[in-house]
Structure 1
């Protein structure tokens, strides 16, 4: 690969990026608290996108899961499946943002493979979906809809609840869920990699009534939190936030945050364990140190550029008991890194209601010496039978992980 050098010069900032180099990262920075001194930062950045392989039987067979677990294709040929939700009858809803559809899948004979598939909603750019009080709530870029769930699992005519969410920009992947408090929570990503946002609702989690009224910012400084959920025992809200790109192979790490009302998680000025972002200085007379003092830092971090997507707490009855109340996170996989990472599902071990460690759960989607992949993972859901479902929007497959050795 040829070296491509880019030089970006901004107010008091020098950022040099060499793409495609074989050398180790360089991240040398001198970041003063104010603009009275120059800021200098040098970073080596990379673009490496593994080639796309097919989800053949041989590739699926070599997937890695802990002892006692097995993987199979729950459904395939689905276009670009994104977010998943499971109803009480075992019906699986899956969104396809590009097609603008919600599809319902049914495994009628209980063999772990969906036999029936039907489109139950058509909504332009639909992405997030959640089920609450026998209604399906769906979110697109700027709109939130809800539809009644019929006895057979199909959906009634979607009703528009919200039509003025912020524009998307770089991150159009809205997600939605209802908390134990009965409020609707909506994630709204940033419009950019790193920048001050003119719309205060970007880079936030919003909270509203179930009918969409009384919308307010619940937490801010979250660059792009797609996967989030409430711990089943503590009812505390947790979410995985995407780190900033172009800070080198190993920065910015992905963040697992305990999300609390009115908290600020630092983006775009503070990242990781309290580091200063050289390209964006806090506004006005605020120093980095002052902004850091009011920033809530992550509880755990994960390998930079892994791209966390769906997140779900396990409350099923199929997996071993020590999986109860742990979380799973789908890592979509890197592109802004010299060697690929992610392309897997990780388990987040919780101890006494707090996250303790990440560990691999489902991996092996990188093949050919990590030069190719056959899945980029997005949505997660626990099926009514206790298995774990995960969607891939590159080859149009939903995978099922089941515990087969009691």
Structure 2
């Protein structure tokens, strides 16, 4: 439930049965530290875990000049408004002519924003498509592909950047549930890739296409599950040098302030990334046991674990590899990720843009790139970030669907 004022409440969650007194646990931290030893492999013994959970939504402030002025970026960079008063811009994509497209799921529209005089401000804003609950966007072979909850559409791109009439390619993607925000991209193989989140926080899914990445032909035909066990992967993309597919998956909520960490996964065909039974560095989820006679240990053996993790509850959204010429050379082929920000944590985290460093084609660490959206001594914010794209001029653009702003990061 979203609240319009700050609320902080401690919720004690007991997943199953009585406490294992023989383990001698005296508090939540000790229980957390010993999860693997107290979660049995079969139903012959009770499972128990006591966890503190929080709901805390920071209050909302406007994106004033004063608030924007205190945003922090690395030396030599600056952050400004590219466009505002946009409604609720979500996913961003850059057109070949420098047009910036933004989806607004709530309004059911795709916007086109243009900086006609190259001054770093988008002064022309047009609605170029009307599609109920549209979210994911990508451009392939001079066509715009748009995905809503159940549908995928394609539209021809006109010379001025506007779109022709959208045509439906797919109409039977799984229902959304808790995670209806589909994203879409085309890989180096020319295939269409679609993310389909889970319907719940943690549960066995009746539809095998939920909690997956799907792959299909360019026209939407021959759809198959490419990888599974992915709770909600919004941001994903192919490393420009290796062509390996990387994605950031949202961790399970209600496992405490510092669990489950967000995952960076190398996504391979046929791989299982563990959700809902295995998470993080191979930990057992006390809320869900593998089906049938399969034990946690057996499920762990077939689970592909993350390459890197990030602070729990940060909520990774859009992700873009940097391929521009404006930033210093060391930024080339690193990825930028929008961390939307927490609600399921006592102290807010996220609400920032981070840089994911790659070395030899593999992610090795994160560092802050744009911070300062949390204000008022951690009690308020003026931006929850979603989309990320690299403009044709080499600047980095990212969207905030709280105050309807697209921000621009450029060199000074």
Q: SS where residue 44 of structure 1 aligns?
A: strand
Aligned pair partner of 1:51 in 59, 64, 69: 59
Could you say which residue in structure 1 is the equivalent of 2:213?
A: 205
Of the three residues 89, 93, 115, the one matched with 1:85 is: 93
Q: Is the 8 A contact 1:26 1:44 kept in 2?
A: no
Distance 1:13 1:313, change over 3 A: farther
TM-score (norm 1): 0.95
Equivalent runs, 1:1-40 vs 2, <5 Å: 5=11, 8=14, 10=16, 12=17, 27=32, 29=35, 30-40=38-48
| Inter-partner Cα distance in structure 2 for 1:283 and 1:358 | 36
Written as runs of structure 1 = structure 2, the 5 A alignment for 1:294-373 is 294-373=302-381
> 1:175 maps to which residue?
183
Please give the per-residue CA displacement for 1:188-220, whole angstroms capped at 9, x wherever unaligned: 000000000000000000000000000000000
| Match runs of 1:2-401 below 5 Å | 5=11, 8=14, 10=16, 12=17, 27=32, 29=35, 30-401=38-409
8 A Cα contact 1:231 1:325, kept in partner: yes
Structure 2 contact 115–121 (Cα < 8 Å) conserved: yes
Cα distance in structure 1, aligned partners of 2:363 and 2:409? 22
The offset of 1:9, in angstroms, is 5.4
Q: Assess if the C-alpha contact under 8 Å between 2:13 and 2:53 holds in 1.
A: no
Distance 1:2 1:369 in 2: 15
Alignment of 1:402 onto 2:378: no
* Partners of 1:70 and 1:314 in 2: CA distance: 17
Moved over 3 A (4+): 1-10, 12-15, 23-26
Paired with 1:200 and 1:133, the residues of 2 have a C-alpha distance of 30
Deviation by residue 1:60-113 (Cα, 9 ceiling, x = unmatched): 011000000000000000110000011111000000000000000000000110
Aligned equivalents of 1:45 and 1:82: distance in 2? 28
When the two chains are superposed, the root-mean-square deviation of aligned CA atoms in Å is: 1.5
Distance 1:26 1:287 in 2: 21
User: Alpha carbons of 1:354 and 1:4: their partners in 2 closer, same or farther (altered >3 Å)?
Assistant: closer
Distance 1:91 1:269, change over 3 A: same
CA distance in 1: counterparts of 2:11 and 2:356, whole angstroms: 38
**Secondary structure in 1 matching 2:178:** coil
Structure 1: where are the runs of 5+ without partners?
16-22
Bigger shift: residues 29-38 or 347-356: 29-38
Distance in 2 between the 1:347 and 1:162 partners? 34
- Whole-Å Cα distance in 1 between the matches of residues 103 and 301 of structure 2? 40
Give the paired residue count: 396
Partner of 2:221: helix, strand, or coil? coil
Shift of 1:403: 1.4
Shift of the alpha carbon at 1:370?
Answer: 1.1
Q: In structure 2, how many angstroms separate the alpha carbons of the residues matched to 1:176 and 1:311?
A: 12
Judged with a 3 Å threshold, the aligned counterparts in structure 2 of structure 1 residues 292 and 115 are, in CA distance, closer, same or farther, namely same
Unpaired segments of 5 or more residues in structure 2? 1-6, 21-27
TM-score by length of 2: 0.94
Task: Report SS of the residue matched to 2:55.
Answer: coil
User: Distance in 2 between the 1:14 and 1:139 partners?
Assistant: 46
